[in-house]
Amino acid sequence: MANTPQVRSMTQDNIQERSTNRRPAYQVLLRNGELTRRVEEAYQLLSLCNVCAWHCKADRSAGKEGVCRTGMKARVSSAGPHLGEEDPLRGWRGSGTIFFSGCNLRCQFCQNSDISQLSGGREVEPEELAAMMLDLQDYGCHNINLVSPSHVVPQIIAALLVAAERGLRLPLVYNTGGYDSQEMLHLLDGIVDIYMPDMKYADSDTASRYSKVVNYPEVNQAAVREMHRQVGDLELDSAGVATRGLLVRHLVLPERLAGTEQILRFLAEEISPETYLNLMDQYHPAYRATEYPILDRPTTRDEYRDAVRLAQAVGLNRLDKRQPFLRVVRTG
């Protein structure tokens, strides 16, 4: 990525970057030495793995793979600017995404199953992962967006330490399926600037059937509470780019399978009515969805509109509007 030309919008040439004076949270921990201690503590959890909510106890420090099919080293599928994320993340220069291979969920309809369910990507040392972060910063991205990070938090913190020492200054986005352990979230307190969890299901049996995971709603709701405690509601700078806070994603499934109403009420009543929410309408059958008749069709327009009306009815009005992105041209 180091030699990738810059991307600039045709209509943004005369716009100066505008931001608050907020610095990424991890810079404070870097200066006082706490970030180094967090790396050591996180790696200790790999020996009897407690990195995600499975607590599978695999000795990943010895190279054994856990439920996530990942051992001691993180595997990266791809890294680059992403113009398809939520408006506050992508801005006009893109969100700097790093896609990690493997996942601690087994969603039978996963639209990225080639990354999450198969043994793709390549193993990287923390120094190489740090270099990816710095390349994304050099490219001009607004943030570092860590996609499916739950099972590789120790490796991420180690890479962050290297990158921060070398001048990384972008906010960190923790882009997760929402099955996160409290142990790791506590280690991430003061490190992550923007949490972006999925809230996939309101019912444990549904989660078990379609994502092969136990106690998902209980774990997920506890994680979202902790994330909001750490960073609060989503904050934007004067250019509309996110600097800190919570952004929740919820994929609307056919036949209200995800328990959309319960999730929306949880957010409005137990987290905050100011929660920034992306109600996603892009469900279509993928991976093994055809094996489940209820999932073997896209979400209808009426089902999605019902979800939007439910969100508004419970008082959630900060909905991502998914504005079309301006055409970009390469320069340089």
Residue 104 in tokens: 């601690």
- Measured in whole angstroms, the distance separating CA 51 from the mean position of its chain's CA atoms is 16
- Measured in whole angstroms, the distance separating CA 258 from the mean position of its chain's CA atoms is 19
Residue 113 in tokens: 């199953």
- The CATH number of the domain holding residue 140 is 3.20.20.70
Q: Is residue 3 part of a domain?
A: no
How far is it, in rounded angstroms, from Cα 248 to Cα 320?
A: 10
Choose among 139, 134, 144: nearest CA to 96: 144
How far is it, in rounded angstroms, from Cα 110 to Cα 95?
A: 22
Q: What is the pLDDT along the chain (332 residues), one digit of tens a residue?
A: 433 333 333 233 333 343 445 789 899 999 999 999 999 999 999 998 989 988 898 889 888 888 888 889 999 999 999 999 999 999 999 999 999 998 889 998 887 766 666 667 899 999 999 999 999 999 999 999 999 999 999 999 999 999 999 999 999 999 999 999 999 999 999 999 999 999 999 999 999 999 999 999 999 999 999 999 999 999 999 999 999 999 999 999 999 999 999 999 999 999 999 999 999 999 999 888 899 999 999 999 999 999 999 999 999 999 998 654 443 433 33
How far is it, in rounded angstroms, from Cα 264 to Cα 259?
A: 9
Residue 27 in tokens: 């810079």
**Element of type H or E holding 115:** helix 113-116
Q: What is the pTM of this model?
A: 0.90
Q: Which domain holds residue 95?
A: 23-322
Annotate 33-60 with b (16+ C-beta within 10 A) or e (fewer).
eebeebbeebbebbeebbbbbbebebeb
Q: Is residue 217 part of a domain?
A: yes
Q: Is residue 329 part of a domain?
A: no
Q: Is residue 29 part of a domain?
A: yes
Q: Is residue 82 part of a domain?
A: yes
Q: Is residue 330 part of a domain?
A: no
Choose among 76, 36, 15, 9: nearest CA to 239: 15
Q: Is residue 291 part of a domain?
A: yes
Total domains in the fold of the chain: 1
